[in-house]
A and B are shown apart, each in its own frame.
Chain A
Amino acid sequence: MTTGEQRATDLEKVLRRGQQQLAAGSAADNWLSAVRERGASDVMTMARPDRKQEAWRYTPTSFLDKAEYAPVVEGPFGAIQPADVEELMLGDQQGTCLVFVNGYYAPALSRLAPGQHMPQVAVLSGQLGDVPAQLKAHLDGIAEHHHVFAALNSALMSDGALLYVPRSASVQAPIEILHVSVGLDEPGICHPRHLIVLEEGAQAQVIERYCALGEAVYFTNALVEIILRPGSRLSHERLQEESALAQHLSDLHVRLDEGSRYKHVSATLGGAWSRTDLRLNFAGEGAQADLDGLMLARDKQLNDVHLDIQHTAPGCISRESFKGILDGRGKVVFDGRILVAQDAQQTDASLSNHNLMLSRSAEVDTKPQLEIYADDVKCSHGTTVGELDHNMLFYLRSRGIPSARARQMLCQGFAEEILDRIENPALHGRATRLLTERLMTYSE
């Protein structure tokens, strides 16, 4: 690369280079070839998202023009010792923790918890033994390539966590999936691919985290598939604390069968550009989903959440509550669609999105949507955008609390409504600490 010359990312080139790399790799993942081919052919036909596409109206992808992202080669991450990532680990955890460095499974950093009712744990790269047949059968079962990045993930996936919780098993300790990104010379793009399957009546807790060692430019393009069989229960907690220069895209696909329950809390704090697409499909009657999310956007940071909640079966309940706090030239994009299909009677769905703007140059673009084709339903959405309440600030200041501290307290209170939904104490502690640190840096 000549100095000063700006290079852009060509997604087709990313695909070609990634495919070459995969071809040179081991043959252990040959079973993935059909999925990869489907992904590759979609990459070739899908255009790069631009503002003319409704789902990308407010989310520019101009970062692709500013740097050339190349597929990350599995490489010299062996040098990373447990001590290096200690700061990133959650304390007091008993359960399995699968650590991925730049998208590749790192056995030396991971922990496999012994004990009964163990879920079957595997990784795509086969480093934890052969992938069980029931997981192979479900992979790519519900993912849809509704944008080119999802197709790219399918085409180039090489590693990721695969969890299978057998019928009626209840996993006590949370299972953690931790991504650590380490800066490389060139901006890299990696495609973590996870699959979580809970069989009938099974129960589990999964924590999914994305962190970085140092400030680095990279693009995490993750895709997660979650299948909840009848009567199963999953608590899914996500904390995204990527490097401030990074791009992060999470594409989540969740299917809920009859009577299953999905509880989701996410806090997206990091990255220069962060987007989460969550598509949740109610495939069986009487299922319930509770989704909460906190989105922080500091100066020049974009934080985007797109929800697509599909009530295709009758009698399901969904609750979505997302909050954004913006500072500097931060931008929050929220799109929350609730679809109630014909005959999905007795649906009860409500969605809310509240945003707090702390600066004059921030921007919120929010778009809750209801699309309803059944009549016996209860659906609502509400959204607000505003600044801190002057009366509240005045009250705190009149009690002797300095202005800056008063603002932090109010923001903290606003955000904690979401963070308090996190069940894991260590994760809750970490998220709260990161929030407090962030609020301290806010200018106005």
Chain B
Amino acid sequence: MGSTATEMDELVARGYEHGFVTDIETDVIPPGLNEDVIRLISQRKGEPEWILESRLKAYQHWLTMTPPDWSSVRHPPIDFQSISYFAAPKKKPELQSLDEVDPELLATYEKLGIPIEEQKALAGVAVDAVFDSVSVATTFRKTLADAGVIFCSISEALQEHPDLVRENLGSVVPHTDNYFAALNAAVFTDGTFVYVPKGVRCPMELSTYFRINAQNTGQFERTLIVAEEGSYVSYLEGCTAPQRDENQLHAAVVELVAHTDAQIKYSTVQNWYPGDAEGKGGIYNFVTKRGDCRGDRSKISWTQVETGSAITWKYPSCILRGNDSIGEFYSVAVTKGMQQADTGTKMIHIGRNTRSTIVSKGISAGKGQQAYRGLVRMTQRAEDARNHTQCDSLLIGDRCGAHTFPYIEVKNPSAKVEHEATTSKIGEDQLFYCRSRGLSEEDAVSMVVNGFCKEVFKELPMEFAVEAQKLLAISLEGAVG
């Protein structure tokens, strides 16, 4: 066991592999937040008047709010005046092909092991690469356009499809929702807009790679996906960020709207900088994600693999408004070092025969702390609604923590709600069995952990599942003594 303990120490001490800063000139608004900064953001982006109004309204509301203190995460107070609210690469190329993309940027992606070319060839994935806050490359747009699918940055959508955006933006997550959603509504700089028209099955998986790059720039993405009647879309979101010392705030808002018979599948792999061994640096990830199953038989599925960030605070939720609508939440969260994660979901059952499934797998190692916090609400109208929740936690090391806080509110007797949670450490007997069959301790752990997370990984699109397993391996291999 001695050698394994050393290996574990090595692995835990291993630096952040994706930590490097790409040197691109950026156009940054000086740090600070006030109405003028918001006007400046709006002006730089050449936005219509109504969006500026809604930004200012959100800002005024935000001023009246206090940061939430109910979660298990602990961090020093955030100085919102020390953050720069806008950073865009200075070169704003109108790109026709990959050759025109800044070679330095392409190199960055290659270092990450996810070159756009490979993505193009291998998966047929259209990548809307968000480099800092402005989209600089969009591919496969024509194929999508032929299908009638709109896939563009939200700033572009504000210019080209203002009515669609106006109708849906803030309809699922209003600016009054919570502290970080209000902040986002006031200062969001970019993000993605997806619109899938009636009856269209989106011909490819849509994906955006987010990258936080400039020093001291918070990112406030806004994502809006609207799936019209009978349509289907699968959206992938993946993130890595370079190493730096200042804590960075990330307060994104994601809104999904699924109309009758529509399906939206939203997958996330998050691997932002988690901070160093003392917990210094690292991203603060305060995200509000919510899907609205507006129509009957609609379905929204959230899958997330959270391995990065110093603090993760996110609760992708579903409002099951339509009859027979379905909500799903599959999550793997890993905390090691000094990482903290407070994550979970809300399933609000309003329509008849609505169903929801929650599978949450938490792995805590080192001094990592994580909590599952979830709500299942069966309203009085939710006739014959069903929920099944499974929350499992795996503990590796005696200084980590894993917590489960499910809230279950039932107001309809025909609703069936089941919740199960377990917490345990990696089974010694399982490890012993594997080792007696000649596997190294490291492989055995990796095998057990992968088995533990299998239920969630199988929900990920194939190329994402590979990346997720890679991330998990980096985080945890051999982390057992």
What is A's interface to B at a CB cutoff of 8 Å? 54, 58, 342-343, 345, 355, 357-387
User: Is B397 touching A375 in the complex (CB atoms < 8 A)?
Assistant: yes
CB-based contact B420/A380 at 8 Å: yes
Q: Report Cα–Cα, A367/B411, bound state, in Å.
A: 15
List of B residues within 8 angstroms of A365 by Cβ: 407-410
Which of A343, A358, A384 contacts B418, CB < 8 Å? A384
A379-B398 in contact (CB<8A): no
Cα–Cα, bound, A54→B378 (Å): 20
Q: Is the CB of A363 within 8 A of B398?
A: no
Query: What residue of chain A has the Cβ atom nearest to residue B418's Cβ?
Result: A384
The smallest beta-carbon distance between A304 and chain B, in angstroms, is 14
Cα A381 to Cα B378 in complex, Å, equals 20
Q: Are A375 and B421 in contact (CB under 8 A)?
A: no
Report the stretch among B54-62, B259-267, B422-430 that lies at the interface. B422-430
Residue of A whose beta carbon sits closest to that of B387: A385
* A358 B413 Cβ-Cβ under 8 A: yes
Cβ-defined contact, B424 with A382, below 8 A:
no
CA distance A298 to B293 in the complex (A): 35
Q: Which residue of B lies closest to A331 (CB)?
A: B411
B413 near A372 with CB under 8 A, answer no
Minimum Cβ distance to chain A for residue B426 (Å):
9
Across the interface, which residues of A come within 8 angstroms of B393, CB to CB? 370, 372
Closest to B393 in A: A372
Of the four ranges (under 10, 10 to 19, 20 to 34, 35 or more), the interface on chain B belongs to 35 or more
| Complex-state Cα separation, A59 to B112, whole angstroms | 51
Report which residue of B378, B402, B410, B422 has the largest number of chain A beta carbons within 10 angstroms of its beta carbon. Answer: B410
* Nearest B-chain residue to A332, judged by Cβ: B410
Nearest opposing residue in chain A for B421, CB measure: A381
- A372 and B421 in contact (CB under 8 A), knowing A365-B408, A386-B415? no
Partner of B403 from A361, A371, A375 at Cβ < 8 Å: A371
Known: A368-B406, A372-B402. A387 touches B414 (CB 8 A): yes
Whether B405 and A385, one on each chain, are in contact in the complex, defined by CB atoms closer than 8 angstroms, is: no
Give the A-binding residues of B (Cβ under 8 A): 70, 378, 380, 393, 395-425
Given known A54-B70, A360-B413, A372-B401, contact A366–B408 (CB-CB < 8 A): yes
User: A383 — which chain B residues lie within 8 A by C-beta?
Assistant: 406, 408, 417-419
With A382-B419, A382-B420, A387-B414 known to touch, is A373 a contact of B408 (CB < 8 Å)? no
- Which chain A residue shows the least CB distance to B405? A369
A286 to B452: give the CA distance in the assembly, Å.
30
> In the complex, which residues of chain B have a beta carbon less than 8 angstroms from the beta carbon of A360?
380, 412-413
What would 15 A/B residue contacts be, using CB atoms closer than 8 Å?
Answer: A343-B398, A362-B411, A362-B413, A364-B410, A365-B409, A366-B410, A372-B401, A372-B402, A373-B400, A376-B425, A377-B395, A380-B422, A381-B421, A383-B408, A385-B408
Alpha-carbon gap, A278 to B425, bound state (A):
28
> When A and B form their complex, which 4 residue pairs have the shortest distance between CB atoms, in order from nearest?
A357-B413, A375-B395, A370-B404, A387-B413
Please report the C-alpha to C-alpha distance between residue A79 and residue B413 in the assembled complex, in whole angstroms: 47
> Which residues of the partner chain B approach A371 to less than 8 Å between Cβ atoms?
401, 403-404
Find out whether the CB atom of A378 lies under 8 angstroms from the CB atom of B417: no
How far apart are the CA atoms of A375 and B423 in the complex, in Å?
9
**B409 A379 Cβ-Cβ under 8 A:** no
A121→B276 CA distance, assembly (Å)? 60
Q: Kindly provide the distance from the CB of B344 to the nearest chain A CB, expressed in whole angstroms.
A: 12
- CB <8 Å contact, A385 and B423: no
CA distance A342 to B395 in the complex (A): 12
B342, chain A: closest CB distance, angstroms? 12
Q: What residue of chain A has the Cβ atom nearest to residue B72's Cβ? A: A371
Complex-state Cα separation, A384 to B380, whole angstroms: 17
**Minimum Cβ distance to chain A for residue B71 (Å):** 12
B423 to A370, Cβ gap below 8 A?
yes
Instruction: Chain B residues near A368: list those with CB within 8 A.
Output: 404, 406, 419, 421
Q: A54-B70, A383-B419 are in contact. Are A373 and B409 (CB under 8 A)?
A: no
Q: How many residue-residue contacts, CB under 8 A, span A and B? A: 112
- Give, as a whole number of angstroms, the nearest-CB distance from B135 to chain A: 42
Determine the distance from Cα of A440 to Cα of B415 in the docked complex, in whole angstroms. 24
Contact of B424 with A379 in the complex, beta carbons under 8 Å = yes
Q: In the complex, are the beta carbons of A380 and B406 less than 8 A apart?
A: no
Instruction: Give the distance to chain A from B383, nearest Cβ to Cβ, in Å.
Output: 10
**In the assembly, what is the distance between CA of A372 and CA of B415, in Å?**
30
**Who on chain A is nearest to B404 by CB?**
A370
CA distance A243 to B288 in the complex (A): 47
Pairwise interchain contact B408-A367, C-beta atoms closer than 8 A: yes
Q: Are B407 and A381 in contact (CB under 8 A)?
A: no
* A403–B73 CA distance with the chains assembled, in angstroms: 51
Kindly provide the distance from the CB of B381 to the nearest chain A CB, expressed in whole angstroms.
11
CB-CB under 8 A from A376, the residues of chain B are 398, 425
Q: Is the CB of A375 within 8 A of B398?
A: yes
Q: Are A363 and B419 closer than 8 Å at their CB atoms?
A: no
Given contacts A357-B413, A369-B403, A370-B403, 16 further A-B contacts (CB under 8 A): A345-B398, A358-B413, A363-B410, A365-B410, A366-B410, A369-B405, A371-B401, A373-B401, A378-B423, A380-B422, A382-B419, A382-B420, A382-B421, A383-B419, A384-B416, A385-B408
Name the distance in Å between B237's Cβ and chain A's nearest Cβ: 29
Expressed in whole angstroms, the minimum distance between the Cβ of B392 and any Cβ of chain A is 9
The closest CB in chain A to the CB of B413 belongs to: A357
Contact A380 B415 (CB under 8 A): no
In the complex, A302→B70 CA distance in Å? 26
A294–B275 Cα gap in the complex (Å)? Answer: 48
Query: Which A residues are CB-close (under 8 A) to B399?
Result: 342
Q: Are A377 and B423 in contact (CB under 8 A)?
A: yes
From A342, A374, A385, contact of B410 by CB (8 A): A385
Residue of B401, B410, B419, B422 near A357 (CB, 8 A) is B410
**How far, in Å, is A154 (CB) from chain B's closest CB?**
28
Q: Closest chain A residue to B428 by CB distance?
A: A376
User: B400 — which chain A residues lie within 8 A by C-beta?
Assistant: 373, 375
Find out whether the CB atom of B424 lies under 8 angstroms from the CB atom of A364. Answer: no
Residues of B within 8 A of A358 (CB): 413
Bound-state Cα–Cα, A374 to B423, Å = 10
Please name all residues of chain B whose beta carbon is closer than 8 Å to the beta carbon of A377 when the two chains form the complex.
395, 423-425
CB-CB < 8 A to A373: which residues of B? Answer: 400-401
Chain A nearest CB, measured from B418 CB (Å): 5
Contacts of A343 in B (CB 8 A): 398
Quick one: given A370-B404, A379-B424, are A342 and B398 in contact (CB under 8 Å)? yes
Known: A375-B398, A376-B398. A369 touches B417 (CB 8 A): no
Chain A hits for B418, CB < 8 A = 382-384
- Residues of B with C-beta under 8 A to A345: 398
Q: Give complex CA distance A54, B416 in Å.
A: 25
Contact A384 B421 (CB under 8 A): no
Taking the closest CB of chain B, its distance from the CB of A411, in whole angstroms, is 13
* B422 touching A379, Cβ below 8 Å: yes
Residues of B within 8 A of A387 (CB): 413-414
Residues of B within 8 A of A357 (CB): 410, 412-413
Contacts of B414 in A (CB 8 A): 387
- List, in ascending order, chain B residues with CB within 8 A of A374's CB: 395, 398
Q: Is the Cβ of B413 less than 8 Å from the Cβ of A367?
A: no
| Distance between Cα atoms of A157 and B412 in the complex (Å) | 41
Contacts of B403 in A (CB 8 A): 369-372
Provide the bound-state CA to CA distance between A377 and B413, in Å.
Answer: 35
Closest CB in chain A relative to B430 CB, distance in Å: 14
Query: Could you say which of B400, B404, B422, B424 has the most chain A C-beta atoms within 10 Å of its C-beta?
Result: B404
Smallest distance from the beta carbon of B180 to chain A beta carbons, Å? 20
**Hey, which chain A residues are within 8 Å of B406, CB to CB?**
367-369, 383
How many Å lie between the Cα of A112 and that of B399 in the bound state?
A: 52
